[in-house]
Amino acid sequence: MKICTITCHDVYNYGASLQAYALQEYCRSLGHDYCIIDYKPPYLSNHYNLWSICNPIFDKPVVRELYRMAKLPGRLRQLKRKRLFDDFTKKYLSLTKKRYDSSEDIAEDCPSADLYIAGSDQIWNTLFPNGADAAFYLDFVKNGARKISYAASFATEKIHNGLDSFVKEKLKNFDAISVRESSALQILQKLDFCDATLLADPVFLLAREQWAKLIEKPISGNDEYIFVYDCEKSHKLRAIAEELRRKTGLKICSVSAIYGRYADKNYELSGPKEFLSLLANARYVLANSFHALAFSLIFQKDFYIVNRNEGINKRMSDLLCSINLSNRLVDKPIDIDLEAIQYQSVEAEINSLIDTSCHYLNQQIDLCQ
């Protein structure tokens, strides 16, 4: 059977790349023909632009050129990180031969499939342009094939920017809806979708041993360390990281070039595989990232999660609550507790969610055959 998915697969984000890979590999393990629609609208296509002006105050004659020249050396250096992501995409993700830039573009030459899947990740986050993009609601499917979502995420507690009617209208065409957070179920209920299913993020569909195969070797040496992943310039996370370093005597390794300058070692030019290696071999993990949390659970790490400022924290707090680890969501240095996580009970909760997720996917696939 042929399965096509649409997700944010090529945005130079560790979690986005790895979740796309996970759903692909799980469906392939069931013996199905699978591809990811190579969708890159303009708002997702401006990564690593050597000449972009990030702040409009510099977008003036003469100043513009001086700004660009000042930024160029650092941007050229960052191309190594881009190459690692591009290599991962080329080697591990099965994409459509054609790249599309709009829902209308896909509709004109839609790849044939028996089942279309939207998700996972933050495809319906209405704080971002993708939440208002009809393509991520499978609007381009016109052939009557089955349309479902898999663990799609709104990432927030409500729909923003007045898009409630838009989201409701687009979701009416789905045959089955599944989401990643319990808060998303509440959003859907307010839109009169009362039969949605709560599922695990795709990364949980692959066993620890399968992820370990992507890790060729430790890149951080044999010493124990704290792995820090900061997705924003979080002063709170930094304070907690420095307290954890003080308490444990361990060095900090980071992949955050701009936001992790306090780290003892920074691997800012890392791709998805290097990210996995750094996390999997860490003694402690400290992050404000959903997928850093997910992989900490998969590799059974002692971890601490910090809320982000941009208001997309429900995906982390919901997951922690569902597995009775809300105490690992920390807000200040004094919250740090070095007691190890007892993974026996945690694993049982996660496995139950994984079983539900596999059953949902298998059932949806069977309905197409």
* DSSP per residue, 54-105: SSGGG-STTHHHHHHHHHHHHHHHHHHHHHHHHHHHHHH--EEEEEE-SHHH
* Identity at 278, one-letter amino acid code: L
* Identity at 241, one-letter amino acid code: A
Question: Given a cut of 80, is residue 216 above it in pLDDT?
Answer: no
What tokens appear for 282 in the block?
């860490």
Would you place residue 259 in the very low, low, confident or very high pLDDT band (cuts 50, 70, 90)? low
Question: Given a cut of 90, is residue 292 above it in pLDDT?
Answer: yes
pLDDT of residue 86: 97
Mode of pairing for the β-strands spanning 302-306 and 284-287: parallel
pLDDT digits (tens, 9 = 90+) for 321-342: 989 999 999 989 988 889 999 9
Of 26, 231, 8, give the one whose Cα is nearest residue 118.
8
pLDDT of residue 65: 78
Angle between helices 314-322 and 182-190 (to 10 degrees): 120
pLDDT of residue 261: 78
pLDDT digits (tens, 9 = 90+) for 190-212: 999 999 999 999 999 999 999 99
pLDDT of residue 223: 87
pLDDT digits (tens, 9 = 90+) for 113-122: 999 999 888 9
Would you place residue 257 in the very low, low, confident or very high pLDDT band (cuts 50, 70, 90)? low
Which of 22-36, 90-104, 182-196, 218-232 bottoms out in mean pLDDT, i.e. has the lowest? 218-232
Quote the CA–CA distance of 366 and 359 in Å, as a whole number.
10
Which of 60-69, 94-103, 256-265, 299-308 bottoms out in mean pLDDT, i.e. has the lowest? 60-69
* Identity at 357, one-letter amino acid code: S
Q: What is the 8-class DSSP label of residue 110?
A: P
pLDDT of residue 280: 96
Question: Given a cut of 70, is residue 29 above it in pLDDT?
Answer: yes
pLDDT digits (tens, 9 = 90+) for 220-250: 677 899 999 998 888 999 999 999 999 999 9
Residues paired with 61 in a beta bridge: none
pLDDT of residue 67: 67
pLDDT of residue 258: 67
Which of 59-73, 90-104, 192-206 bottoms out in mean pLDDT, i.e. has the lowest? 59-73
Of 310, 308, 290, 322, give the one whose Cα is nearest residue 153.
290
Residues 361/150, Cβ–Cβ less than 8 Å? yes
Report the helix count and the strand count for the chain, using DSSP H and E: 11, 13
* Tally of CA atoms within 13 A in the half-sphere of 274 that contains its CB: 22
Where is 24: in which H helix or E strand?
helix 14-29
Give whole-number Cα distances, 6 to 31, 65, 220, in Å: 20, 38, 34
Indicate the average pLDDT of the chain. Answer: 91
